[in-house]
Amino acid sequence: MKCPYCKNVDDKVIDSRMSGEGASIRRRRECLKCGRRFTTYEYIEKAPLMIIKRDGTRKRYDRDKILTGILKACEKRPISMDSINQMVEEIERDVQKKANSEIKSTIIGKMVMEKLYDMDEVAYVRFASVYRRFKDVSHFKKELEKFLDKE
C-alpha cells in the first residue's frame, strides 16, 4: 500500500478489524519511511452496480461520491469520521440489499438524507438543499419547519 504522505510503498499493519458486519476489513498501517499512520479498507469485489441518474444516464456505483457528499454536508459539524464511515457502510449495505445490478440515484439520496436526519439537523438541511435543488429560501424554510414541528 502506498503511503498517502510520502508515497513510500513499505508499511506495516498495526491493527486489523472487521467492519460493516464482515463486509470489509479496516487496517491501520504505519509507513516504514516517514512513520505516519493511515487507514485502509478492503472490500469484497462484487458485480458492478449501475446508478440510474435523474436524467436517465447510467454510471457505475462509486462509494466515494456518497462519502464526499456526506463530508460536505457534515463540514464543521461535531461528527466524527468513524460515524461518517459507519454511515457510508450502512448505506452501501442497504444499496447492495435493494439492488441486483441497478438502482436509482434518488433512492440512494433518500437513504443518505434519512441517516443525516437522525444524526445532525444542519448536515441534513445542507445535503437536502443540494439533493432537492432548493431554488430559494422558502424551500429551506419548509425543511426547517420539519425540525421545529418535531420538537
Mean pLDDT of the residues in the chain: 88
Tell me which residue range forms the domain holding 104: 46-150
Are both 79 and 134 inside the same structural domain? yes
Can you give the pLDDT at residue 151? 58
Give the integer Cα–Cα distance in Å for 35 and 141: 49
Are both 15 and 81 inside the same structural domain? no
Residues 50-62: pLDDT tens digits? 999 999 999 999 9
Are both 39 and 66 inside the same structural domain? no
Are both 39 and 50 inside the same structural domain? no
Can you give the pLDDT at residue 22? 77
Can you give the pLDDT at residue 90? 92
Are both 108 and 97 inside the same structural domain? yes
Are both 90 and 55 inside the same structural domain? yes
**Mean pLDDT, rounded, for 36-65:** 89
Are both 139 and 72 inside the same structural domain? yes
Are both 79 and 121 inside the same structural domain? yes
> pTM for the complete prediction?
0.65
Res. 4 pLDDT band, cuts 50 70 90: very high
